[in-house]
Amino acid sequence: MQNMYSYAREKYAAIGVDTEAAIAKLSAMPISLHCWQGDDIKGFANDGELSGGIQTTGNYPGAARNPEELMADLDKAFSLMPGKQRLNVHACYPIFEKGEWVDLDALEPKHFAKWVEFAKERGLGLDFNPSCFSHPLADDGLTLSHPKKEIRDFWIRHCIACIRISEYFARETGTPCLMNIWIPDGYKDIPADRLGPRKRFADSLDEILACGYDKNLVYVALESKVFGIGVESYTVGSAEFGLNYAASRGIMSLMDNGHYHPTEVVSDKLSSMLLFNEKVALHVTRAVRWDSDHVVLLDDETKEIANEIVRNDACDRVLIALDYFDASINRLSAWVVGMRNMQKALLCALLTPHADFTKMQDEGNTTELMAMREELKSYPWGEVWAEFCRRSGVIEDSKWFDEIKTYEKEVLSKRV
Ligand code: RNT
Ligand code: ZN
């Protein structure tokens, strides 16, 4: 094993790439794991059905039914992921005392105390998200842009409650909490008024931000979307809305790479974002035609996103989270595959002689650039990955899947 790594280290050294530096950098890069893949975004706030332009499909057995099961599943999944993670919690995952219940606009830090305890025991940072969906007041697919003031006010109170919970997360864990706002608002058919809903959304966001919060503790981000199921003709929080709002109010933009037209790629957007913003947040997913939520693979776009982060020296300026929900396969496996792939993509990017390649581009040496990049594809990055896993104390190869099979047999299959 060790000599396979030594061989890889020398091979990379010969092209000026330091594998030790790559491993060190990757070990320090946290990726935020989305709790909602574990139970198909059902959460614990109510027993309602999922609504609001997002949908899970599939009925693979064994979804977590309560906080204990979700935490146990997360633990198992984390044990199969090398490196550093954060945990991304949605507001629809409060953990109430027996008999207790409050609506989304009355959530308090104490309702998330068990998540804080979970995170602290495992040394995880926490991120957070208002849940503006799957609720009677979001039934018509409108929340912060709703024409009725009392409905907008409910969601404004919800988002402010989420800012308080995010502050609590940050204080308790000692790392800033990214709080990402996404709303499903839009129309199935051609709207009669496009400006009005966007103006109302902007006003609602202004009210939320006016609550006053510590910007060193909470990074508020706004996620845009091109369309959703049931809102095919118009989404209030479009890309232009998101970018302009975030830039004008000094909050962060969050780009989900499943939220653009099919030939648009986030990898190409990152450099522009980095030129004009201190930080940018990502939801890494895999878009398949009209759907935006498939498990992340080690595909070209994931690798190119990683290249842009690494070669622009933006590892601490791009906040990476995963976001997908597949209910048709083992949910832990979905978590692990997506996390390991994002990390593999980052590792490949860290093992690329970017300065040399840039020089080739600048000198017009595009023939050599193509030849060298193609050669690099068969370099032994897998040996460096294996070494990274060994140092993290995590199974390095496909044997991790045996753990999933055992867990499925011993734990998941008994959840009936
Ligand atoms: C939906 C957005 C959003 C959600 C989560 C659950 O299209 O991507 O980020 O996936 O908030
Ligand atoms: Zn997203």
Cα 357 to middle of ligand 2, angstroms: 32
In a domain, 6, yes or no: no
The Cα–Cα gap between 200 and 208 comes to 12
In a domain, 9, yes or no: no
111 labelled catalytic: no
Instruction: Name residues whose C-beta falls within 8 Å of residue 7's C-beta, 6 or more positions apart in sequence.
Output: 380, 383
Q: Give the pLDDT score at 139.
A: 85
Q: Give the pLDDT score at 130.
A: 98
Q: Which ligand is nearest to the CA of 36?
A: 1
317, with CB counted inside 10 A (0-12, 13-18, 19+), is middle
Token pair recorded at residue 379:
């370099």
Are the beta carbons of 185 and 145 closer than 8 angstroms? yes
Name the E strands within 130-279.
177-181, 186-187, 218-223, 234-235, 252-256
Q: Is 54 in the pocket of ligand 1 (CB under 6 A)?
A: yes
Q: Give the domain CATH number at 144.
A: 3.20.20.150
pTM higher than the cut 0.95: yes
Q: Which of 331, 252, 251, 340 is nearest to 35 (CA)?
A: 331
Q: What mean pLDDT value characterizes the chain?
A: 97
Are the beta carbons of 276 and 318 closer than 8 angstroms? no
Are the beta carbons of 186 and 146 closer than 8 angstroms? no
The Cα–Cα gap between 22 and 112 comes to 36
Tell me what percent of the residues of the chain surpass a pLDDT of 90.
95
Q: Give the pLDDT score at 48.
A: 58
In a domain, 389, yes or no: no
In terms of residue numbers, what domain contains 263?
29-346
Pairing label, strands 252-256, 280-284: parallel
Residue 133 falls in which region: left (phi positive, over 0), alpha (psi -120 to 50) or beta? beta
In a domain, 68, yes or no: yes
Q: What angle do CA 220, 152, 41 make, to 5 degrees?
A: 60
203 labelled catalytic: no
pLDDT digit string, tens, across residues 80-102: 999 999 999 999 999 999 999 99
In a domain, 110, yes or no: yes
188 labelled catalytic: no
Compute CA 411 distance to the chain's CA centroid, rounded to the nearest angstrom.
Answer: 27
| Residue 228 DSSP code | B
How many domains is the chain built from?
A: 1
193 labelled catalytic: no
Q: Is 324 in the pocket of ligand 1 (CB under 6 A)?
A: no
| Residue 313 DSSP code | T
Catalytic residue among 76, 111, 146, 259: 259
In a domain, 242, yes or no: yes
Instruction: Name residues whose C-beta falls within 8 Å of residue 398's C-beta, 6 or more positions apart in sequence.
Output: none
170, with CB counted inside 10 A (0-12, 13-18, 19+), is buried
pLDDT digit string, tens, across residues 262-293: 999 999 999 999 999 999 999 999 999 888 89
Q: Give the pLDDT score at 55.
A: 83
Can you name the residues that pair with 282 across neighbouring β-strands? 255, 320
What separation, in Å, do the N-terminal and C-terminal C-alpha atoms of the chain show?
Answer: 42
Q: Is 36 in the pocket of ligand 1 (CB under 6 A)?
A: yes
Rounded CA Rg of the chain: 22
Cα 256 to middle of ligand 1, angstroms: 8
Residue 203 belongs to what H/E stretch? helix 195-209
pLDDT digit string, tens, across residues 173-206: 999 999 999 999 999 999 999 999 999 999 999 9
Q: Give the pLDDT score at 258.
A: 96
In a domain, 408, yes or no: no
Are the beta carbons of 205 and 252 closer than 8 angstroms? no
In order along its 416 residues, the chain shows pLDDT tens digits of 679 999 999 999 999 999 999 999 999 999 999 999 999 999 999 875 777 777 899 999 999 999 999 999 999 999 999 999 999 999 999 999 999 999 999 999 999 999 999 999 999 999 999 999 999 999 899 999 999 999 999 999 999 999 999 999 999 999 999 999 999 999 999 999 999 999 999 999 999 999 999 999 999 999 999 998 899 999 999 999 999 999 999 999 999 999 999 999 999 999 999 999 999 999 999 999 888 899 999 999 999 999 999 999 999 999 999 999 999 999 999 999 999 999 999 999 999 999 999 999 999 999 999 999 999 999 999 999 999 999 999 999 999 999 999 999 999 999 98
In a domain, 72, yes or no: yes
Q: What three-state secondary structure class fits 380?
A: coil
